[in-house]
Amino acid sequence: MLPWVARIACLIGALLAGSLARADDLTDFNAAVETVSAHSRVAIGYLRTGNVDLASLEMDRLRDAWARFTERFSGKRPEVFADNTLYGKLFTSVSARLVGADIMLKTGRLDAARSALDAVRDDLYDLRKQSGVVVLGDCVRDANRMMDALMAYDDRTLDWGSAEIRSGVAAKASSYGSLLDRCTGIASEAVRTAPEFRRLVDGAKASLTLIPKAIDARDTDLLHRVLIELRSFDNLLAFRYG
């Protein structure tokens, strides 16, 4: 092999190796975040149901996972976050939120403890969004927010005579369905085909088909039942994948 060819081959190899290393850094980062997030989701679930003992146990595991994450990544950010101003702030803000959540739990303020853990989710969401990093959990979070907007129409005094109300219900339901499709596309093949994921997404999609019927019939009771069903699917999606 000619010397200049060998030098170019070495250069290309080095560039490829660097790219793979950066990709591996982000993959490892996302996997470590998911470990943290999984404990947070379980803790939030226990806080929602008032199970203090199990919430406390899961928060201990969450703090341990966060400590390992901090040790590994606080001084070594993946390349995609190189210019992200939120990266350095993440470690102090999340650590403070976990301390606050623990205090709230020990003083019996379960809703405040849950809010602190929800804020951790928001911190991670904002970090990834600023750098264009897309993960399933963030898509599920977007779906949760859209479901919140759709639930605003769960009102026994809903004015079906208002075209704005009718179009609002339809638009929010359509947007929620689109987000479920997007989340399905983001999910890994293993998650996308998992029976649990399919049950939740397909169940929500089936419920959404009843929204136009409720609008056409101006049926408040039907809309109420569908929204409660959708909220249940949505909460389970957040608990498992958010």
pLDDT one-digit tens code per residue, 197-217: 999 999 999 999 999 999 999
Q: What residue segments make up the domains of the chain, in order of their start?
A: 3-133, 137-241
If phi over 0 gives left and psi between -120 and 50 gives alpha, with beta otherwise, what is residue 50? left
Q: What is the pLDDT of residues 101-125, one digit of tens each?
A: 999 999 999 999 999 999 999 999 9
Residue 15 has pLDDT above 70, yes or no: no
List helix spans (H) across the chain. Answer: 3-49, 52-73, 86-106, 110-131, 136-151, 163-186, 189-192, 195-208, 211-217, 220-241
- DSSP states of 61-75: HHHHHHHHHHHHHTT
Rounded to two decimals, the pTM is 0.80
**In whole angstroms, what is the distance from residue 42 CA to residue 59 CA?**
9
**Taking a C-beta distance cutoff of 8 angstroms, is the pair 200, 240 a contact?**
yes
Planar angle of CA 135, 138, 143, nearest 5 degrees: 130
Q: Which pLDDT belongs to residue 24?
A: 57
Share of the chain above pLDDT 70, in %: 90
Euclidean distance between CA atoms 226 and 95, whole angstroms: 39
Task: State the chain's mean pLDDT as an integer.
Answer: 89
Chain centroid to CA 74? 22
Question: What is the pLDDT confidence band of residue 11, given thresholds at 50, 70 and 90?
Answer: very low
Report which DSSP code applies to 187. S
Into which CATH architecture does domain 3-133 fall? Up-down Bundle (1.20)
Confidence band for 23, pLDDT divided at 50, 70 and 90? very low
Compute the average pLDDT of residues 170-178: 97
Half-sphere exposure of 119 (CA within 13 A, CB side): 17
d(CA 44, CA 103): 15
